[in-house]
Amino acid sequence: MYKILEKRVLSSDIKWFNIYAPQVAKKAKAGQFVVLRIHEKGERIPLTIADYDREKGTILIVFQEIGKTTKLLGTLEEGDEILDFVGPLGIPFKLEENVENVVLIGGGVGIPAIYPKAKELYKEGKKRIISIVGARNKDLLIMREEMETSSHELLIATDDGSEGTKGFVTTVLQNLIDEGRDLDVVIAVGPTIMMKMVAKTTRPYNIPTLVSLNPIMVDGTGMCGSCRVTVGGQVKFACVDGPIFDGHEVDFDELMRRNKMYVDKERVSLELWEKEVQR
């Protein structure tokens, strides 16, 4: 059992949990994820490691409440325990050493996913870390302070213009490109459509672009193939071959289709749960 030590409500549907899992915390690196299961009848879901504290033995997860499992997870409080918490999984994030000017792009709960990367790169003394974060509106912008302290520049995009540039993260990215800024690599984590658009934006300029994929998983250790994605025409398992891939090679449309595989079932499950909760 893995205890929730701290809980924060970042927005109406985004929750922040610091979970006690000392051995996972000892090993975790930026770019990796955990698979958790809340209770005996629960499903196994992957969540990106948003931060880790080796001394305190904690792993930070930040998640958006979308389906039954994430909504149920959101109802847990400090002191509650999660049944299974497996990790750290996946290949850690790694950059070429000579890369100095890094753009990190996070959308929605992709922001906490890019945070540990920003933190590590900032600490390593990279010349310039530019972070671009996007959300539908100002209220949904999360972890702003953390991002600010681990970037040289923090740029914001909101759909409604309530903060920063009105538009998408790609609008801001395109501006940087147009200004002729030095951009050695772009790292994007967020909704699949966002990552697809980022890769599309950088492709004409040959700017290396890394994305962290979020397919449906079961075991998360390479045993089932649920998370298979097409990268450069090859089938890869995102759990053990990724989750980070070359954004210019990923078949995002296939991933988006596959991620909708269980929408009907997810709706049934959620409706049933909501009825139970009301009762």
Q: How far is the CB of 263 from another protein (least distance, A)?
A: 10
Give the C-alpha separation, 63 to 17, whole Å.
Answer: 9
> Among all chains, which residue has been given the structure tokens 């090993």?
27
Q: Site mask, another protein, residues 190-229, x = CB under 8 A?
A: ----------------------------xx-xxxxxx-xx
- Nearer residue to another protein within complex by CB, 23 or 137: 23
How far is C-alpha 59 from the geometric centre of its chain's CA atoms? 14
Residue 111 contacts residue 261 (beta carbons within 8 Å)? no
> Among all chains, which residue has been given the structure tokens 């509650």?
80
> Could you say which residues in the range 13-32 bind another protein, by CB under 8 A?
23-24, 27, 32
Which stretches of the chain are assigned E, i.e. beta strand?
A: 2-11, 14-20, 33-37, 45-48, 51-53, 58-64, 81-82, 84-89, 101-107, 128-135, 153-158, 165-166, 185-189, 209-212, 228-231, 234-237, 244-246
- Nearer residue to another protein within complex by CB, 122 or 262: 262
- Nearer residue to another protein within complex by CB, 10 or 28: 28
Q: How far is the CB of 265 from another protein (least distance, A)?
A: 4
Strand order in the sheet with 209-212: 165-166, 153-158, 128-135, 101-107, 185-189, 209-212, 244-246
Q: How far is the CB of 5 from another protein (least distance, A)?
A: 18
The reply on whether position 43 binds another protein by CB under 8 A is yes
Q: Site mask, another protein, residues 59-98, x = CB under 8 A?
A: ---------xx-------------xxxxxxx---------
The reply on whether position 272 binds another protein by CB under 8 A is yes
Q: How far is the CB of 166 from another protein (least distance, A)?
A: 32
- 23: Cβ–Cβ under 8 A, 6 or more apart, which residues? none
Identify the H or E element spanning 118. Answer: helix 110-124
> What residues line the site for another protein (CB under 8 A)?
23-24, 27, 32, 37, 41-44, 68-69, 83-89, 218-219, 221-226, 228-230, 235, 240, 254, 257-258, 260-262, 265-266, 268-269, 272
